[in-house]
């Protein structure tokens, strides 16, 4: 009979897998979290007059009425063909190929009338085209 007390092995806690899991969770949270971009200081940004910064010679404003009439830089275009609009664009483009065509069409204008202006700009060699819109605050005031 062996009555000597046996040495009990102390249970060993292996922390390496636990640390690995925590690092993976930390990396996941860091990558999936969106951070708010708020500053602690309250800033009042400077106000600039937008019209004063514009370069007017490079702009060609084409207005398209609801009935399909065109005007280039507030000058009515005689005719509704692509050729008529193209000739008016060439005359109004003071900066040449660097001019920006701004299409300001009525909300109820036919799609074809806007496409006609875009085709006329392409034929005139004016490749920079943008569309004018108004904000909802301006539309509500009408």
Let me know if residue 77 belongs to a domain.
Answer: yes
Which residue segment(s) compose the domain that 59 sits in? 55-133
Q: Note whether residue 21 is domain-resident.
A: no
Q: Is the pTM of this model over 0.75?
A: no
Look at residue 63 and tell me if it is in a domain. Answer: yes
Spatial distance between the Cα atoms of 85 and 76, rounded to a whole number of angstroms: 10
**For the domain that residue 66 is a member of, what is the CATH number?**
3.30.420.270
Q: What is the pLDDT of residue 82?
A: 92
Is 122 part of any domain?
A: yes
For the chain, the domain total comes to 1
At 40-69, the pLDDT tens digits run 445 455 565 555 445 556 888 899 988 888
Q: What angle do CA 33, 34, 35 make, to 5 degrees?
A: 115
Q: Which residues lie closer than 8 Å to 61 by C-beta, 6 or more apart?
A: 72, 73, 74, 102, 104, 132
Query: Whose CA is closest to 90, among 56, 62, 49, 48?
Result: 62
**Does a structural domain hold residue 120?**
yes
């Amino acid at each position: 009979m062996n009555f000597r007390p046996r040495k009990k092995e102390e249970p060993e806690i292996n922390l390496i897998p636990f640390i690995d899991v925590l690092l993976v969770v930390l990396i996941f949270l860091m990558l999936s979290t969106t951070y708010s971009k708020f500053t602690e200081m309250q800033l009042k940004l400077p106000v600039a007059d937008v019209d004063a910064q514009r370069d007017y010679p490079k702009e060609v404003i084409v207005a398209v009425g609801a009935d399909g009439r065109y005007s280039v830089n507030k000058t009515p275009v005689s005719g509704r063909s692509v050729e008529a609009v193209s000739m008016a664009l060439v005359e109004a483009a003071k900066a040449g190929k660097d001019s920006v065509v701004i299409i300001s069409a009525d909300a109820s204008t036919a799609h074809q009338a806007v496409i006609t202006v875009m085709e006329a700009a392409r034929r005139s060699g004016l490749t920079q085209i943008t569309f004018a819109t108004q904000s909802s605050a301006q539309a509500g005031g009408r």
